[in-house]
Amino acid sequence: MSGQMKLIYFDVKGRAEVTRLLFKLAGKDFIDCRLTKEEWEAFKPSTPKGQLPLLEVDGKTMCESFAIARYVARELNLYGFSNWEAAAVDMIVESCSGLFEQVVHAYYAKTEEEKAEVTKKTAEVLQSTEKLAVQLKKGKFILGDEASLADSALYSTIEVLQGLLKDLKMDVYPTISELIKNFTELPAVADWLKTRPDNK
């Protein structure tokens, strides 16, 4: 098991919340480092890709949000317990990675027309993710009785999308909606949602 891990990002949920939720789910301490714009400008040149989030662990620095989430999930036993379960988690994580492309489009969409276009595309990606979730879901969570990286990725990605796309309707994806509801009702998650910094 690695020493204490430091997750570095901005003071927003964005691409770091999936990993923050994993730490909370596992009850594992971590350093939740949130940089200001000025701190980031000074720090950026020394980082692997000039991007956040980063994970510092045992003197090493890791980039790419879903690589970080996968590393932390493996460390905290939130990546399933067989090769197939890990593959099921990966299928959902890859789908969330695809959804994150829409987060970027939504972030930069300025006009109502652009937002409507991104909402339409997001709905298509969500439809295929719903289809996948129906096939994979083994119980309250994707892997059955226990939440994993798959549930954290779904919740955190869709939360960001909903924040950016006000017309996005989730009730047409009942399986994803149920997974998210079950995830947010877990005591450790519910506690974090109540106490986390109030940011965008």
Ligand X SMILES: N[C@@H](CCC(=O)N[C@@H](CS)C(=O)NCC(=O)O)C(=O)O
Exactly one of 11, 32, 56, 64 binds ligand X (CB under 6 A); that residue is 64
CA distance 160 to 121: 15
Minimal CA–CA distance to 22: which of 91, 89, 111, 84?
89
Span of 30-38, 45-53, 155-163, 186-194 interacting with ligand X by CB under 6 A: 45-53
CA distance 178 to 197: 25
Q: Which is nearer to ligand X, 53 or 80 (CB)?
A: 53
Exactly one of 8, 52, 76, 88 binds ligand X (CB under 6 A); that residue is 52
Q: Which is nearer to ligand X, 96 or 179 (CB)?
A: 96
Cβ pair 110, 169 in contact under 8 A: no
Name residues contacting ligand X, limited to 160-199 (CB under 6 A): none
Minimal CA–CA distance to 10: which of 60, 69, 48, 65?
65
Q: Which is nearer to ligand X, 44 or 131 (CB)?
A: 44
Q: Does 65 bind ligand X (CB under 6 A)?
A: yes
Exactly one of 2, 4, 36, 51 binds ligand X (CB under 6 A); that residue is 51
Binding residue count for ligand X, defined by CB under 6 A:
9
Name residues contacting ligand X, limited to 7-36 (CB under 6 A): 14-15
Name residues contacting ligand X, limited to 69-98 (CB under 6 A): none
Distances (CA, A) of 180 to 40, 107, 126, 147: 32, 22, 13, 10
Cβ pair 65, 19 in contact under 8 A: yes
As measured in angstroms, the least distance from the Cβ of 145 to ligand X is 30
**Cα dihedral across residues 48, 106, 7, 85: positive or negative:** negative
Name the site residues for ligand X (rule: CB under 6 A): 14-15, 44, 50-53, 64-65
